[in-house]
Amino acid sequence: MILSLLLAAATQAPAAAPARLSPEAADARCVVVLGFINTQGKLTPERAEAVKNGTIYYLGKLRGRNPGVNLPATLDAAAKLATAQKVNVGSEAQRCGSELAQLSAATARPAGVSATPRKP
């Protein structure tokens, strides 16, 4: 569901093969892309929530990998690189969204499992 929300929010266009990024650079780029999507406005409350949750997830990955990371500098560098490479927002949203969709699917309740426990 998150993937479809990100894809719907992003502009789609054909993209060249993306440059290989380090895990930190890839996560920072996801934060930048999600921030860009958020600034485009016209997001439904559900899409805005998905963008917010995705941003929190990727910021958490950056901090978890390197607790002393300088987030402003890392995100600034990611934004500058994305601009210089003229990255396709739709392709990047798809890349970031697929990770979020996999996570969402992995943490979803199995079919038939009740959200509230039954009394014995």
Q: What is the mean pLDDT of the chain?
A: 83
Q: What is the pLDDT of residue 19?
A: 61
Residue 14, phi-psi category: left (phi > 0), alpha (psi -120 to 50), beta (remainder): beta
Cβ count within 10 A of residue 32: 26
- Of 10-24, 39-53, 82-96, the one with minimum mean pLDDT is 10-24
**pLDDT of residue 36 exceeding 80:** yes
Q: How confident is the model at residue 6 (pLDDT cuts 50, 70, 90)?
A: very low
For residues 82 and 8, which has the higher predicted lDDT (pLDDT)? 82
State pTM to two decimals: 0.74
Q: What is the pLDDT of residue 85?
A: 93
